[in-house]
Each structure stands twice: as structure tokens, then as C-alpha cells.
Structure 1
Amino acid sequence: MIHELRVYHCLPGRLPALLKRFENTTLEIWKRFGIRQAGFWTVAVGESNQALYYLLEWESLAEREQKWNAFMADPEWLAKRAESEKDAPILERVSNQILVPTSFSSVK
């Protein structure tokens, strides 16, 4: 099992729109593709409170590539994403990292 840590850095004031998009759209579409989330977090104290952090669970990099690419090309996702940004863009930038658990990690 590997995890992908994704950080969405929002433009000022746009975090609520991103959270709404995940809650009302993205998670339902992910279910169709079998994309599994391990958790979502916002920042209470830290560098920026305009970011969303989340973890995805993957069996392998091959699974990630197949499912993520299919999701990113999905016509429903593309339309809903565009609709959610009709007033203004949401994201400043996205960063991601593929994490591999250590031998002593409680998460395997």
C-alpha cells in the first residue's frame, strides 16, 4: 500500500469553493473510479489556512496511474470542475508526493 499526499493551495478566499466541490462532486466521481481517500485536512495553525491536504490510498503506482488518468479525463469531472470555477479560479497550485511506509509505520 502506498499513499499519495496532495496539497491544494487555494487562491485567497477560494478554499470554501474547493471544499464544496469535494463534498458535492469530486468524492462521488471518485467512487465510480474506485479512488480511495484516507483523510482530508485543513490548517488551523500553520503556514497557510488556504490549503487543503488529503491522502489517497493506492495498491501500486500502476493502480494510481490508471485510475487517476481515467478520473482526470472523465467528461463529468471536467464539466463540474469548469462549472465550479465559472466565477473565478480556485487553485493557485497543487503539490503531491507519493509516500511509502517505513518498516516501523503503524500504517502499512
Structure 2
Amino acid sequence: MKHTLTKNRFLFLLIALVSLAVPFKASAAPKQEFYQLKIYHLKDQQQEDRLDKFLKDAYLPALHRAGVAKVGVFKPVADKANPSATAAEKLVYVFIPFKAADQVFKVEEKLKKDNAFATAGQEYLEAAFNNPVYQRMEVVLMQAFTGMPLFAAPKLNGTPADRIYELRSYEAATEKLHENKVAMFNNGEMEIFTRLGFNPVFYGQVKAGSKMPNLMYMTSFDNIASREEHWKAFGADPAWKKMSADPQYANNFLRADIYLLHPAAYSEI
């Protein structure tokens, strides 16, 4: 019995020594996700209703079956001061996060073989050329920034109708300046957004799209008043003032487009 205890103690000490000799390996950083942003251009409410039905009843469920966990669907905030400004065209933004670039194509192949999707989405998928569900569709492919490799569904208060999701698009004059702006985000700008409670959803470097070189990102707020308060705080933040005045980041974007959006009632983000 004594011999067994001594042997067990020896083995325990040996294992402990070996484990201490093995260098500690930090857990691998998450791989950067890829994002697909589909922008539907619609001519009227009828097309919007048809698209909503397709997305809610067919497309999102099919994406889930194909391995996509959550999908965001957003629509522009109405301009009450000038309603005619948005009357000419309706827009719907569909944000789809993928774990890797090849998943984009694998999901498309799975959808082609999904009989439930074909049945539920028939009205959209089999629409006649003179009665389409949309006028035009844009597709933007992005890779997540290293500083935020995974998207985050924000935790917001209030009703979805009041929530504001702000999508921003920053084009640069050259590829080098674009990479500089991406570095600016990774080297501190994202930290400021997080510290000030901007509830970032994603940051993405555009890999394919109609506007390049370009990056896009999305922040979120409980309501429009909260959005305005946050941007006021951002503009006054000492860390942002210092960073924005740094000569190494001068002229690193040419144009910024801002889109204020509400989540659709069935949006999952």
C-alpha cells in the first residue's frame, strides 16, 4: 500500500513538472469574419411588402439551416422634415455574417438544394421579368477588422422602431490611404467608440463592392437623441482630438456616407 502511494505521488510530481516545462500558449485569436451586405432598391410599398415576406418566411430561415446564426435587416429612417427626399426609392439592407470567405459560396450552394427554401420563396425566386420583387440589388463583401474580428448583436433598450443603427461608409483617395484609415481604427479609434458606448455591430474592410477603396462600420443607439449625444461626446473626447490631429492619419478618407437605419420587425441583430 505504501509503495502504491509513493508511486502515485511520483507520477503526480512528474506530470506537474512536465506541465510546467511546456510553454504556455495563449488561446488563438478569433478568425476574422466575412460580411455580406445586400442592398435592395425598391420602387414602391408593394415591392417592399413582397421582399419582407421573402426575407422573413424564406431567406432568413434558409440561412439558419445553412449555418448562419443571425441576420440583420434594416430600413432607412424616414426624414420627417423632408419626406419627399426618400419617396423616390425605398431601400432594404440585409447584413449577413459568415465565419469565413468560402462560407459565402457554400451557403449559396446549400440554398440551391434547399427544397423548403424553394417552396417558401417561390414568389420571389420565380418572379416574372416584368414583375420583379426589386428594381436593383447591390452586394458588398467585407472582411472584419482585426480589432473586432466578430460582429456583435447590441443590447439596446426601447422598441425596435426607436432604435438607430448607423451605417457609415468611408472611401479613400488611394489604397494606401485606405489602409491607413483601417489602421487608425485598429490602433485606437474603435476603442474610443467602445468606451463611449456606441454599441458597435461590425467594422469591415470592403473587399468587393461598387465603392472602393472603402470601409464600412455600424454603430447602434437606443434612439435618435442617444445617437446625437454619443456623437457630441465623441467629438469632444480628448483621445479622439489627439488621434484626429495626428499627422500620420491626415487625409485618410475622401468621402463619408452616413445612413441612419431602423431594424425591421423581424431583424435578428
TM-score (norm 2): 0.37
The aligned residue for residue 69 of structure 2 is: none
The aligned residue for residue 133 of structure 2 is: none
The aligned residue for residue 44 of structure 2 is: none
The aligned residue for residue 47 of structure 2 is: none
Is 2:201–2:220's contact at 8 Å kept on the other side of the alignment?
Answer: yes
Equivalent residues, number? 106
SS of the residue corresponding to residue 220 of structure 2 reads strand
Match of 1:43 among 186, 191, 206: 206
Q: Deviations over 1:74-99 (max 9, x none)?
A: 2221111121x447411111111110
The aligned residue for residue 64 of structure 1 is: 227
| Residues 100 and 33 (structure 1), Cα distance of their counterparts in 2 relative to 1, 3 Å cut | same
SS of the residue corresponding to residue 36 of structure 1 reads coil
Q: Deviations over 1:28-73 (max 9, x none)?
A: 1223211111011222222233111111111111111111111112
State the 1:102 CA deviation.
2.0
Write the letter of the residue equivalent to 1:105. Answer: S
Write the letter of the residue equivalent to 2:224. Answer: L
The aligned residue for residue 77 of structure 1 is: 240
**Unpaired segments ≥5 residues, structure 2:** 1-162
2:170 corresponds to 1:20: no
Is 1:7–1:51's contact at 8 Å kept on the other side of the alignment?
Answer: yes
Is 1:5–1:55's contact at 8 Å kept on the other side of the alignment?
Answer: yes
Match of 1:94 among 214, 238, 256: 256
Is 1:5–1:96's contact at 8 Å kept on the other side of the alignment?
Answer: yes
SS of the residue corresponding to residue 104 of structure 1 reads coil
State the structure with more CA Rg: 2
TM-score (norm 1): 0.86
Structure 1 vs Structure 2 CA RMSD: 1.7
Write the letter of the residue equivalent to 1:67. Answer: H
**Unpaired segments ≥5 residues, structure 1:** none
Write the letter of the residue equivalent to 1:63. Answer: S
Structure with more of its chain in strand, by fraction: 1
